[in-house]
Structure 1
């Protein structure tokens, strides 16, 4: 069974790129758009410009792990794509996490405190 919180369909990606908003940071680019669901759907991408497959997979793993620690602070009901920039090479987890947090803060996706 497929996980419901992962973006997969081409139409979802196209809608996000065309109608969504984007925020760039030093190491990642964040695309986001409301999805009308009770959960967030995410995708983590690294193009061939980033490097060979080992490097791209490491970049995606770093972004996924950073997202796991940030996830609880995010607002619900969004489609989110994180795209690795070429500058993500040879970085540590803490650097990627800080970059993702900055992008999320700038996008306004943090939960509103009551």
Structure 2
């Protein structure tokens, strides 16, 4: 049976295609991407060949327990999921928390990342 390579972008979810999953893609975005920083996050972004935004998250073990790291990842994923229609299409976003953000509310994360990413003009 032939495999149909359709893009399955969920309107309110986060599909596999919308995630950066390969180590080489993480390295490519980190090395060649534009770096944006705010109080709690570092964001690398790089134009991709797709017509949609992709998300990668990297949380260091030094930022806390597994519970804290997982909460940080959930907060970032939820920001991306809720705001992907507002994000510039065709970019890979690699988001790294600078410190433990598990104590922040979703609204705090949305405000901080939104001010950093949404509505900003990006150049290739």
TM-score, normalising length: structure 2: 0.78
Paired position in structure 2 for 1:112: none
Paired position in structure 2 for 1:19: 32
Greater Cα radius of gyration, structure 1 or 2: 2
**TM-superposed deviation, 1:87:** 4.6
Paired position in structure 2 for 1:38: 51
**TM-superposed deviation, 1:72:** 1.0
**TM-superposed deviation, 1:107:** 5.3
Paired position in structure 2 for 1:56: 69
1: CA distance between counterparts of 2:18 and 2:119? 23
Structure-2 change in CA distance of 1:23 and 1:107 (3 Å): farther
Alignment of 1:53-92 (within 5 A): 53-92=66-105
- Number of residues of Structure 1 aligned to a counterpart in Structure 2: 108
Structure-2 change in CA distance of 1:52 and 1:107 (3 Å): farther
**TM-superposed deviation, 1:10:** 1.6
RMSD over aligned CA atoms reads: 1.8
Task: Structure 1: give runs of 5+ residues left out of the alignment.
Answer: 110-114
**TM-superposed deviation, 1:50:** 1.2
2: CA distance between counterparts of 1:69 and 1:8? 20
Higher RCO structure (Cα 8 Å, ≥6 apart): 1
Task: Structure 2: give runs of 5+ residues left out of the alignment.
Answer: 1-14
